Structure 1
Amino acid sequence: MTPEAIPEAILADLVACADLPGAPNARVAGCVQAHLARAGVECTVLPGPEGDRVNLFATIGPRDVPGYVLSGHMDVVPVAGQVWASDPFRLRAEGGRLYGRGATDMKGFLACMIAMVPELLALGLRRPIHLAFSYDEEIGCRGVPHMLAALPGLCAPPLACIVGEPTDMQPVLSHKGKQALELVIEGKAAHSSQPDLGVNAIYPAAEVLLFIRNLAARLAAEGPFDARFSPPCSTVVAGVVQGGAALNIIPDRCTVQMEVRSVPGQAPEAISAEVLARLAALEGVRVSHRELARYPALPPPEDRGLAELLERLTGKPALQSVSYGTEAGLFHGAGVPSIICGPGSISRAHRPDEFVTVDELAGCCAMLRGLGQVAAG
């Protein structure tokens, strides 16, 4: 097998592991471990508190010297309700494109990480390159915090982290933070012919929805603003509303799923707190809420050293910000300077017939090769 074909072969194995977020990930974790073992690298298995999911962490080079982290998630979003031209969990090559669920988001980067291990080993790195594989990123970066908690026992404080989400191999410097919540309003069921005997949960939910709409308008009008983002302010939206079982039954339950995306310097929880206060103020109903997902913003870097390094390795200028979020904000919050850069386009992620190109994988391997040369220094 030629070196150019190695990432493609590894990607085929990874795509075949249909491990979804919120579920056991033994297949894909085992696949990663097997490929690393064949390359001569052992990895540390870091079980999550769920009991059926793990993070993986491997090091090439000395552990007691500050180095670089390559980070990617092993889970992929579901394909339910999507129409694919071929089996989404069987890699299909056509015209230089490699189709499969996760090919872009983000098993393409994982395949490149693994494919480059033999070259990195051969360089005799003076500074280590760490390979970090996380779980449940697609439902709120749930695995990474447990990995970060274990990091001090795994290696010296890293110099930087590269999160390989699909950016067309263009370094990305920042993104917004996010918190997603489910709000629950409970009333009392009754026959619709006697509504006075029940408490309709949908009506107070509507009050909360209007509050969310007005809060979004206030954020758009008053800020705070950060022109590096589009839109330049924090946002709050209600995305899913569910209530009622039948037209002739007064609904005793209504749920609202909402999310906040905040600019750096404004915590998403601070915005959510206003909604939760309005929820708590509802009268005549029982209310509760649960968090669905959360990750902090990745603020623009104060030092451009990491950005300049990635610009040099990729040959592309850094992009100031993106609207989606990543685990880079969590690494930054843990004191590890972070940047986002990986093969494929975010426009293909989560869609039917997701693909990454052979050339994009080659470009990613070239970037990692350059990083290895820097680490070998």
Structure 2
Amino acid sequence: MDLSAADLLERLVAFPSVVGTPNDELMAFVAEYLAAHDVPYTLLQGPEGDRSNLFATIGDASRPGYILSGHVDVVPAQEPEWQGDPFVMRRVDGRMIGRGCCDMKGYVAAVLAAVPALRRMTLSAPIHIALSYDEEAGCRGVPHMLAALPDLCAAPLGCIVGEPTGMVPVLAHKGKSALRLTAGGRGGHSSRPDLGSNAIHSLLPALEAAVAQAAALQTGPQDDRFAPPYSTLQVGTIRGGQAINIIPETAVAEIEARAIAGVDPKALLEPVLSVLGADVQADWLSSYPALALEADHPLVGLVVGISGNTSLGAVSFGTEAGLFQKAGVPAIICGPGDIARAHRPEEYLTEAELAAAGEMILALGRFLLV
């Protein structure tokens, strides 16, 4: 069952593993592929019951080794600009086009394509494959896998998260927290506001606090590795009301904060939480910490060597790498493609980018040869 990275990517894209939906068929395919190459794996079903993480090991799991980490969920693909079915990969002029090709099934395909070669190597330390779900919903799946990690392998030496960075090792990223506020009111005719309770009005103190906090953060702690160099906060969505002459009985706002390294992203939303009235409910949608790997950490030198590229201090988008670091696993980001192509119609990865990812993975194997 040897397949090229491009063929594997085509198979992976064909599974419409949109965030928040089941991924059983995709994971069954990966499990069958690994079993065909005698690679032991564990499927870790999440609490949702219809989606799973997968953890596999090539080599001796009782020895400290390295994790190759990727998520298999993708964002929806409903944009009209797609020139074909986004879940049927197209190959055009050296580009592989389809939802998830860049973010980040390309890296997953490169990892899986390297399995036969890695299996033939006598490794001094194991190489683990960690595939997660619902990363696009705020890294909801990987914490369940990280909780099980001590039972799956010896404490790892490091983790390479293959998000699209142009194969440039990235040492840091911002953390993120997202909050949903739901206000309940009492509907009625707008001519008698005294008989109702306007749910949109109930949200205003929180929205004002969010705007004020966003402005205050611009003069708060700074880290020049990021763009912008400060933590940020924004109101992303507001929903409520039926018509201009009806008192809104429900209203919902979603607010996110992105934190530079060393700042708790949840703490950034405290000013918003502190002004909520009794008629407003707050629910955390997601939260993950920033990543901050020291420039002199051995993992940096290793990944610079196997990727052939100089490291970059930081990016502003978030990944699961911060959660690996929080769990005690040093983590770095390095994968094929450009983040600017992610979450867009006609998302693509080039053949050269896919090949570079495969070469990095094989170079890790050669580095670990006995």
Q: TM-score range by the shorter chain?
A: over 0.9
Further displaced range: 157-166 or 308-317: 308-317
Structure 1 equivalent of residue 130 of structure 2: 132
Q: Matched residue pairs, number?
A: 370
Give the CA deviation at 1:224: 1.2
For residues 295 and 78 of structure 2, the distance between their equivalents in structure 1, rounded to whole angstroms, comes to: 42
Q: Would you say the 8 A contact 2:40–2:58 is kept in 1?
A: no
Give the CA deviation at 1:302: 5.7
Give the CA deviation at 1:82: 3.8
Q: Would you say the 8 A contact 1:67–1:375 is kept in 2?
A: no
| 1:325 and 2:318 correspond | yes
Matches within 5 A, 1:176-255: 176-221=174-219, 223-255=220-252
Structure 2 equivalent of residue 261 of structure 1: 258
Give the CA deviation at 1:73: 0.5
Structure 2 equivalent of residue 39 of structure 1: 37
Q: Would you say the 8 A contact 2:31–2:41 is kept in 1?
A: yes
For residues 260 and 80 of structure 2, the distance between their equivalents in structure 1, rounded to whole angstroms, comes to: 32
Q: Would you say the 8 A contact 1:129–1:375 is kept in 2?
A: no
Structure 1 equivalent of residue 74 of structure 2: 76
Name the amino acid aligned to 1:180: A
Structure 1 equivalent of residue 345 of structure 2: 352
For residue 49 of structure 1, the aligned residue among 47, 50, 53 is 47
Give the CA deviation at 1:81: 3.5
Name the amino acid aligned to 1:148: L
For residues 207 and 334 of structure 1, the distance between their equivalents in structure 2, rounded to whole angstroms, comes to: 36
Give the CA deviation at 1:24: 1.1
Q: 1:123 to 1:69 in 2, by over 3 A?
A: same
Structure 1 equivalent of residue 106 of structure 2: 108
Q: Would you say the 8 A contact 2:293–2:332 is kept in 1?
A: no
Structure 1 equivalent of residue 85 of structure 2: 87
Q: Would you say the 8 A contact 1:300–1:320 is kept in 2?
A: no
For residues 230 and 302 of structure 1, the distance between their equivalents in structure 2, rounded to whole angstroms, comes to: 19
Name the amino acid aligned to 2:153: C
Structure 2: 5+ residue stretches without partners = none
Query: SS at 2:290's partner residue?
Result: coil
For residues 39 and 113 of structure 1, the distance between their equivalents in structure 2, rounded to whole angstroms, comes to: 13
Instruction: Encode CA deviations 1:7-61: one digit per residue, 9 max, x unaligned.
Output: 0000010000001111211111112112222233231111111111111111000
For normalisation by structure 2, the TM-score amounts to 0.97
Query: SS at 2:328's partner residue?
Result: coil
For residue 168 of structure 2, the aligned residue among 164, 167, 170 is 170
Q: Would you say the 8 A contact 2:240–2:250 is kept in 1?
A: yes
For residues 317 and 103 of structure 2, the distance between their equivalents in structure 1, rounded to whole angstroms, comes to: 12
| 1:276 and 2:269 correspond | no
Structure 1: 5+ residue stretches without partners = none
For residues 303 and 313 of structure 1, the distance between their equivalents in structure 2, rounded to whole angstroms, comes to: 16
Give the CA deviation at 1:312: 1.3
Query: SS at 1:268's partner residue?
Result: coil
For residues 341 and 254 of structure 1, the distance between their equivalents in structure 2, rounded to whole angstroms, comes to: 41
Query: SS at 2:275's partner residue?
Result: helix
Further displaced range: 51-60 or 196-205: 196-205
Structure 1 equivalent of residue 300 of structure 2: 307
| 1:293 and 2:286 correspond | yes
For normalisation by structure 1, the TM-score amounts to 0.95
For residues 258 and 206 of structure 2, the distance between their equivalents in structure 1, rounded to whole angstroms, comes to: 18
For residues 114 and 108 of structure 2, the distance between their equivalents in structure 1, rounded to whole angstroms, comes to: 10
Q: Would you say the 8 A contact 1:140–1:295 is kept in 2?
A: yes
For residues 108 and 62 of structure 2, the distance between their equivalents in structure 1, rounded to whole angstroms, comes to: 24
| 1:15 and 2:8 correspond | no
Query: SS at 1:182's partner residue?
Result: strand
Identity %: 51
